[in-house]
């Protein structure tokens, strides 16, 4: 996972580094099989 481009994901036409995205965006990318895991310890709002 040393290549930073693996974390670049398109959301609504914008390319974002999903590691800095909100948990919900990371979860959507994970469920779609775009990223291998959620990179940080963000938790959904309760």
Give the pLDDT of the chain (46 residues) as one tens digit per residue.
678 888 899 988 999 999 889 889 999 999 999 888 887 666 665 5
The per-residue b/e assignment along 25-42, b for 16 or more CB within 10 angstroms, e otherwise, is: bbebbeeeeebeebbeeb
**Does the global pTM surpass 0.85?**
no
């Amino acid at each position: 996972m040393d290549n930073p481009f693996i974390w670049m994901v398109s959301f609504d036409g914008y390319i974002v580094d999903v590691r800095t995205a909100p948990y919900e965006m990371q979860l959507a990318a994970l469920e779609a099989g775009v990223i291998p895991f959620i990179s940080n310890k963000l938790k959904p709002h309760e």
